[in-house]
Structure 1
């Protein structure tokens, strides 16, 4: 008998589960179809399905979409009737459905009756935070932001201890009332500084929509006022620092951080992160100042060693990009490197210091023997990983290329490749080895190596390999002599060795001797790269413009266009012209590898410099859904 009852119970449970699964499948199928019709504005087809899904799921989301469909179809009587039916199912009217009813009335033009329902809904909210949030959310779903704000304000007066700062701030955002929005966010930070990340996230979203910078101006004004009037609230300072970092005002952010640290003594980690951010944004002076501040605190500071390393790195990057011809500056920097290695020692943690020090000695001070000795000492560090020793050996090989010893360089490159077959360093060094063959004039061998590297998992390596392979392939067999390409590769080697003037003279010699050779556009592009390295951005842009004008259908046209746009955007402060060039990339070179980056930067600049007109074809090319291979 017990076994029989157990069997009956199991069959009943299986029947219930099967019924639930069938119901769930029906909800999923109908909801997908209903949403498809709704999103396509086919409200006649969407309405009955949405009502069916609501009746099955009792999810008010579908009921609201059902009402929206009826409103769009102007079937107001039907919408009112359905709302009333739902209200009658409750012993006590639900504020949410009273709001639905009010919205339907307002949609058909009965504003006063609709407002009465809204007020009725607000008056009957049970006195706890959860119910106020639900009621306000019902208003928000209908974009009745003013009414949602009123709900929160009533909740503030009714629910003990609840200020609804965050919720009110959102309502003010929707109403574009930035001043009151900021007041609520700042009040929230005053009450509970742990909410600062939440506030920052919300403000970041709001600022992305702030086309005319009015929110940024109000933020700056109101936060500074709070800092002055309530200096004990450190959250205001942290908000200001966050804002300045968003605006990439690293120097101002550092001043605020130092000021705060002198009060709290707890900002070392923040200042170190600020230094790294400045470094990554090529603000080397601000980065150096941040690390200097931490170094001044002495060796007891937990960030002392990292700051020392990063300070030297910032100085090195600033030198190589801004003052590469200043020998006295190079000597001073070499002293800093030597001091750093004496203090920190030769260890895996200082590999980057050794590499940059050696590069500085060889390529800028012509002290190749000393540079090699630094790297050899680094290679004596016990238990180095293959990738770590590979970095040092690669730098040593580069130095031998600089010093005119290609065979020793080739041997070292081969050792690194053999030891790093399973990481990206291996492919990077294969590219260097192929380039060395190219410098030496072994074009066929170099091209074979480069063609293999086109399949590299590293996009940068693959692109560089493809570019050089195409250069060799397009120019090797056009004449009975390979002299022009040999001269060009010699110029590339001189450029690699920082012999810019000799490289330019060699390129000029090719252009004068072989006036109509296919290398002419490549010569212009190399000249632009050399001028960029010398910070002669206007001259570089002139060469790129010449490529775009005279060689618009050559392979380098999109490279020249993108580099010119980058120069205008970042070095020459001609951002509106940069926007035009990024846009040209999208419409004229839709298959280029630079399309995605150009699209992103064009959209950023378009917010500052809106287009006067945009054709449907242009909008198509600018959409993220465009597949580049459709236009190859």
Structure 2
């Protein structure tokens, strides 16, 4: 039996439950989705969602409807689900994406705000929402989600490491450095990760000066915290390492 014959036989086997009127097979839906056959995928995902009400099937179904420009139908589905689960913040993100697809930015912004406003004091939910915004390149919204999450969880530094990365993307060096230092204050075990990120993204003179200035201020304000002098020593070592090649090259020129 050739490879193609085997694939055809396997496909027929997977499709047979649908042909016999039995419950839809998610493998077939995923196959159609991956192949870009969204009409077929949407039909099966709808059945799976109605049978199981699972998040995965619902999200795939909504995604198909959006990509097929079946906006009115998609809005009805989302409204129905929001009535069932009004506190589920991911639904408002999907609703916002639906408006974005129709170039209705003010309505999209309203839905994104609802998602942030409805955040619970749950670290996983906060991180998931912020990550969703991050994947959409909506960095300001991701920041807002993390900042609100810190307020709800009564810990302003709990998402400091995540915020530092977002400030880096926004090219806000001062706030990036502040957030990395806040992350160390929250959890000193982050030191190797913070050093790695600073080495990668903050090796310019202005970035190093900002880090040095903030470290001096923190050492003065919190003299008993040992992690700041440790990071400052690391910074001086990096500066020395960077200067050495230039010194050697000058000797060669002389």
- 8 Å CA contact 1:139–1:148 kept in 2: the answer is yes
- 8 Å CA contact 1:127–1:159 kept in 2: the answer is yes
Q: Distance in 2 between matches of 1:169 and 1:160?
A: 19
- 8 Å CA contact 1:51–1:66 kept in 2: the answer is yes
Q: Does 1:98 align with 2:92?
A: yes
Give the equivalent residue in structure 2 for 1:223.
211
Deviations along 1:176-205, one digit per CA (max 9) or x if unpaired, are 44442232112111343122234345x27x
**Structure 1 residues without counterparts, runs of 5 or longer:** 1-22, 256-282, 284-632
Q: Does 1:108 align with 2:92?
A: no
Matches within 5 A, 1:494-533: none
Q: Does 1:160 align with 2:154?
A: yes
Give the equivalent residue in structure 2 for 1:33.
31
Give the equivalent residue in structure 1 for 2:112.
118
Alpha-carbon shift at residue 78 of structure 1 (Å): 2.3
Give the equivalent residue in structure 2 for 1:88.
83
Any idea what SS the aligned residue of 1:74 has? coil
Query: Given the superposition, is the C-alpha separation of residues 36 and 162 from structure 1 closer, same or farther in structure 2, using an over 3 Å criterion?
Result: same
TM-score (norm 2): 0.65
Query: Given the superposition, is the C-alpha separation of residues 230 and 124 from structure 1 closer, same or farther in structure 2, using an over 3 Å criterion?
Result: closer
Matches within 5 A, 1:401-416: none
For residue 235 of structure 1, the aligned residue among 227, 240, 243 is 227
Query: Given the superposition, is the C-alpha separation of residues 47 and 26 from structure 1 closer, same or farther in structure 2, using an over 3 Å criterion?
Result: closer
For residue 77 of structure 1, the aligned residue among 72, 78, 87 is 72
Alpha-carbon shift at residue 105 of structure 1 (Å): 1.4
Query: Given the superposition, is the C-alpha separation of residues 243 and 78 from structure 1 closer, same or farther in structure 2, using an over 3 Å criterion?
Result: farther
Matches within 5 A, 1:583-594: none
TM-score (norm 1): 0.30
Query: Given the superposition, is the C-alpha separation of residues 173 and 86 from structure 1 closer, same or farther in structure 2, using an over 3 Å criterion?
Result: farther
Any idea what SS the aligned residue of 2:155 has? coil
- 8 Å CA contact 2:130–2:142 kept in 1: the answer is yes
Deviations along 1:264-298, one digit per CA (max 9) or x if unpaired, are xxxxxxxxxxxxxxxxxxx9xxxxxxxxxxxxxxx
- 8 Å CA contact 1:83–1:101 kept in 2: the answer is yes
For residue 196 of structure 1, the aligned residue among 188, 191, 198 is 191
Query: Given the superposition, is the C-alpha separation of residues 32 and 131 from structure 1 closer, same or farther in structure 2, using an over 3 Å criterion?
Result: closer
Q: Which has the larger radius of gyration?
A: 1
Q: Distance in 1 between matches of 2:41 and 2:210?
A: 47
Q: Distance in 2 between matches of 1:59 and 1:97?
A: 13
Matches within 5 A, 1:416-431: none
Q: Distance in 2 between matches of 1:240 and 1:187?
A: 15
Q: Distance in 2 between matches of 1:69 and 1:242?
A: 51
- 8 Å CA contact 1:31–1:53 kept in 2: the answer is no
Structure with higher RCO (Cα < 8 A, 6+ apart): 2
Alpha-carbon shift at residue 156 of structure 1 (Å): 2.9
- 8 Å CA contact 1:98–1:120 kept in 2: the answer is yes
Give the equivalent residue in structure 2 for 1:265.
none
Any idea what SS the aligned residue of 1:160 has? coil
Alpha-carbon shift at residue 34 of structure 1 (Å): 4.4
- 8 Å CA contact 2:133–2:139 kept in 1: the answer is yes
Alpha-carbon shift at residue 145 of structure 1 (Å): 2.3
For residue 147 of structure 1, the aligned residue among 132, 141, 146 is 141
Q: Distance in 1 between matches of 2:68 and 2:236?
A: 49
Give the equivalent residue in structure 2 for 1:136.
130
**Structure 2 residues without counterparts, runs of 5 or longer:** 1-21, 246-254
Alpha-carbon shift at residue 53 of structure 1 (Å): 5.4
Alpha-carbon shift at residue 99 of structure 1 (Å): 2.0
